[in-house]
Amino acid sequence: MLTRAARQLLLFLALPLSAAPTAAADIAYVTHPPADALVVDARPLDRCAAASLAGARCLPADEIAGPHGRLANFRDILWFFGTAGLTGAEHVLVVGEGHQDRDFMAGVLFLAGQRQVSVLIVPPGRLADSPGSAKSTTRTAVYQMPMRDTLMLTTRELADASGVPLLDGRDDREYWGEQVRAARGGHVAGADNLPAAEVRAALANHGALPPLPADPVAYAHDPRASVAYFALLRAAGVAARVYVDGWKAWAADPALPVDALSFPDHAPALVAPPPAPGPAPWPLILAGAAVGLLVGSGGAAVALRRRRWN
């Protein structure tokens, strides 16, 4: 089994030194709000409504990600964007405090077809000067841009694909199955590990990523983390696609191939010790004995009468 460092070395040797990821100018990290951008605040509604950037629309990431990181269907997501007045033709600036929720919203907008998406990497609290506006309860605009659905793969599509380069955005411990948060541990067979934290650090320090194969398919733990990782890679100039379901769905199917396979440790079920003996319940014992004597004597009397009648 090759280590991650060995995999990256082989990738490095297989590519010319000048090789670089295909540029993807569709999602950009910025430190200042572009003048022409419409602000989408992905924070919880109460935080956005209290203070945000001027003209911000409050679109909490939690409202398009269900329990356990599930992604809502895109028909509902497009309607949701319409309640904020989005048509898809705007240049949107996504702001948020947690990088995963912020990048997740940016990735969903991009997949939905948004013309241009920027992500503010400065916490919005530093620039907040007015309350954000909550979305309408009804759709105020029709989202009209065609989806970029060719960039998304389902579990079945990935399983049927052959020779697709894969990037796993989880940390090393999950990639190697040392930490298990799903039905199985490990990684999709053949995937290389490029943790999201390393990509984020490279962007922050203006560093370079290791040479990567063209058009990789990115995934992380679940849909929420996978779409956020996809957006991060696009912002780093990697023309990635995304396996939306993520490792959690892949691990749940025992027929799908896994490298570094492991399983979660389950503590043995605890058996409750027998109750400690207490004082004998003499009133109940005596009552039971009395009932037994009465029943027995009644039965004996019936037997004697039958003998006399016979």
220-246 pLDDT per residue, tens: 999 999 999 999 999 999 999 999 999
Confidence of residue 265 (pLDDT cuts 50, 70, 90): confident
Note the pTM of the prediction, 2 decimals.
Answer: 0.79
pLDDT at 51 over 60: yes
Greater pLDDT, 75 or 304: 75
Average of per-residue pLDDT across 23-31: 77
pLDDT the model gives residue 49: 94
CA distance 154 to 115: 24
Q: Do 184 and 258 fall within a single domain? A: yes
Tell me whether residue 41 is in a domain.
Answer: yes
In a domain, residue 63? The reply is yes
- What are 241-261's pLDDT values in tens digits? 999 999 999 999 999 999 999
* pLDDT surpassing 80 at residue 10: no
One domain, residues 112 and 217: no
What value does the mean pLDDT take over residues 100-129? 94
The last residue of one of the domains, among 117, 132, 147, is 147
Whether residue 103 is found in the same domain as residue 179: no
Cβ atoms of 246 and 221 within 8 Å: the answer is yes
33, part of any domain: yes
Split into its structural domains, the chain has a count of: 2
φ, ψ for residue 155, nearest 5 deg: -60, -45
Question: Measured between alpha carbons, how far is 109 from 147 in angstroms, rounded to an integer?
Answer: 9
Is there a single domain that holds both residue 135 and residue 203?
Answer: no
Q: Is 277 part of any domain? A: no
Question: Whole domain around residue 245: which residue ranges?
Answer: 150-262
Residue 94 lies in a domain: yes
At residue 24, the pLDDT reads 41
Is 60 within 8 Å of 98 (Cβ atoms)? no
In this model, does residue 46 exceed pLDDT 60? yes
CATH number for the domain including 197? 3.40.250.10
| Per-residue model confidence (pLDDT) at position 98 | 85
Query: pLDDT at residue 8 above 90?
Result: no
pLDDT grade, residue 173 (50/70/90)? very high
For the ranges 106-120, 121-135, 137-151, the lowest mean pLDDT is seen at: 121-135
Q: For a pLDDT cut of 90, what percent of the chain falls above it?
A: 69
Q: Are residues 171 and 103 in the same domain?
A: no
Same domain? 119 vs 229? no
- Rounded CA gap, 132 and 54, in Å? 7
